Structure 1
């Protein structure tokens, strides 16, 4: 659902940019409370993993494909504020390096693909986990539903933005019907990917899943015919809680997906591209400012072999995203630690 330059007029694009900038500023402050020494590297990995999976377009209808948006996945794994930042980092890398998503439309894309998906998904997720049994399975079920709804919600918000600032004269009702219809199907794919990923992390390190914190019911023992709380388990040594294995496994997975599996992704246009072509809202689309980038269109310039070119571009994208994301999240975390540190007051003589 990467909106290119030319779909939305300049005033509305600027307004969306202001909304996006405000959301990122709020998220930078909120992420300080979500990130710690374990989750800061994980947040960078989530951004890189989202970048990799977004390269894997899957067919959803005749001549139409879809790909992960990632807002629900990021929010559940690392928190809603950090989730907005993860998707923003991905969109920034895609726009600058790969000419994917217009630069003047960056504010629209962050608002639609980042803010809306995160807010809708996390609100629904938290509501569901409060009413479902306090089990790990409930987290995966809630993540499925949250991801499913977040995608057509984003499609509705894009349609609203188009209704205000669209550069073509197409009936909004037709755009809405087409966008929601195809993105419900894409949402199913998003839901499956989100559920499987969240379930995989919960299976090995439930403590790293932000959305699962505090959901474990206390262990009960039957004593004298009555159920009582079991004694608290001894804390696991810090060394044993190192998330390095999870981080390494996730990074290798992202590299394989972007560097190898992406070659087999569907070549059909994604949901927005298909609707734009069918309904004529792409008449005023503009060339991307980064169209001459060495990595434009997810290929390395001057490498003729499509498999090698695309795979190398994917690997570079994952590497750049994980480095940029991790650097940003570590900086946010360090600033929080510095701000929270008590000021030393010298003792009076």
Structure 2
């Protein structure tokens, strides 16, 4: 079981685990998603989840359980692949917990594909636990250190009367704190005070009403990109000097404006230097050079490197029908994961047809380039 806490907030997420694990998470360490790694097929596991109707709380977790679609076993590693859209992009502040269990083909009211840990080992069960239901059926888990793991898993009560059982309480393991809300650099009371003064100024006898012009409604003070107040006695001036959502001053040309100006300049050159109905070679080269994106050029170069390595890997390992960058790294083609300079992600397709293609998807999931 791989449990994931995405926000590290008290009262958020699920604190219980799947049936038969006999551990719970702390109230401030609940999970939003979990990945169920099993030797059974994805279809079998999903069907079993839907059919486990005697546990209504478990049925409510159906949308939070992610079942991998493919596994790769390499020496001492089990790689489980899931659809990124079902989990999202992992963030540095996420908490993780992995429970190692003993596999069992049976699913009962008190277990879900896992075997009990009993007092003394047998041919089919691990020892070191208790013979009554209440002790953790967990062989190993993530913890900051050995003493913490021992403290977590030994703090339970197993009793013949199930009502007196108390499950062990565990936590996720975190490497970073979740980001906090950013506050204004100006206290809100001072902010409202300035706003009230500006409103009073706009309605004073010396305002625009005296000259006969229509009175403008007071405008809230403007903040710059760093959260600092833009000081101005004129509300319209404050609005003009503020930055727009892209962080550009109105006096600075936007990217679209630059593109329009560049396009107009090219069209003008085209009209002067080219015969009617034709475009000069110099103008074509000028347009071509303007359209070159250094990041896209580097992205294409990296995709070509990945494609070359994937072709060689596929030739040597034709039985692998799902090649990933992780496979190429393990095989020694790359020392680290290659990423798009524009923030995109690479994916390899076409292993089953023999015609490999490397595609790059931007952070929104839209393809913006490929090589094959």
TM-score by length of structure 2 reads 0.19
Q: Which has the higher contact order (CA 8 A, sep 6+)?
A: 1
